[in-house]
Amino acid sequence: DYTMPRADDLPSFKVSTSNTPCPGNPLGIKGCGEAGAIGSPPAVINAITDALGVVDIAMPASPSTVWSAIRAKKH
């Protein structure tokens, strides 16, 4: 069992912000509509390929795609 980390278990952090306007539009604003969903699909695909011992599976990893990869691995 591991204890819950407390504030005194962590190093100190220096936090700052910086503003980098987008050069692609006149307002300099950037979109972030998919920012929260960018990391999860590759993580799931990596978990599947690791579990199956294969190099690549194309997204989306439908049940038939995963099943085909399992069957191809057996041969």
Q: At what angle do helices 63-74 and 40-52 cross, to 10 degrees?
A: 30
- Comparing C-alpha atoms, which of 54, 59, 47 is closest to residue 69? 54
Distance separating alpha carbons of residues 26 and 18, to the nearest angstrom: 19
15-67 pLDDT, tens digit each: 999 888 989 889 988 877 767 777 888 899 999 999 999 988 988 899 999 99
Q: Where are the beta strands (DSSP E) in 29-71?
A: none
For 23-35, the pLDDT digits (tens) are: 988 998 887 776 7
Q: Are 65 and 49 in contact (CB under 8 A)?
A: no
Question: Could you tell me the pTM of the whole model?
Answer: 0.52
**Is the pLDDT confidence value at 75 over 90?**
no
Q: What is the pLDDT at residue 67? A: 93
